Amino acid sequence: MTTVNGARISGTSSSIPPVVGGTTDIRIIVLMPTSSFVGQTFPVGSRPQSVAVADLNADGAPDIVTANYFSHDVSVLLGNGNGAFHDQQRFAVGSRPFSVAVADLNADGALDIVTADLSDDVSVLLQQ
């Protein structure tokens, strides 16, 4: 189990340690009142293929999850509510995840993460 700013996230069937390091970035674009965009880049795992936005730690600020195809993990970036995000935490999933979704899969009130993997399976990360 790993704790990220109060959000505790763990795997379902085996220990899923966070992976250290990142090789690819995602770009956050915030719509400003002038209808222009300001971009900011945050590192995530290798070759992110899919992104989901949800309030994973229930603090009222949207958070980001990416499915990282070549690093076989997901990156979780907790938001601070003003468009900035904390450094990623990475959690291993199946081989070559290409899609990610967030939902409360076990009806405990905490959002969980699911990925579709190229290895013909899905990975489920239950938040505890």
Q: Under the rule (CB under 5 A), what is the footprint of Ca ion?
A: 55, 57, 59, 61, 63, 104, 106, 108, 110, 112
Nearer to Ca ion, 21 or 81 (CB): 81
Minimum separation from the CB atom of position 17 to Ca ion (A): 20
DSSP string for residues in 67-113: EETTTTEEEEE-B-SSS-BPPPEEEE-SSSEEEEEEE-TTSSSS-EE
Nearer to Ca ion, 57 or 89 (CB): 57
Minimum separation from the CB atom of position 78 to Ca ion (A): 6
Encoded tokens for 41: 């880049």
Nearer to Ca ion, 112 or 117 (CB): 112
Nearer to Ca ion, 10 or 55 (CB): 55
Minimum separation from the CB atom of position 60 to Ca ion (A): 7
Minimum separation from the CB atom of position 7 to Ca ion (A): 7
CB 45 within 8 A of CB 68: yes
> Which residues does 46 contact at the CB level (< 8 Å), separation at least 6?
22, 23, 24, 68, 69, 70, 71
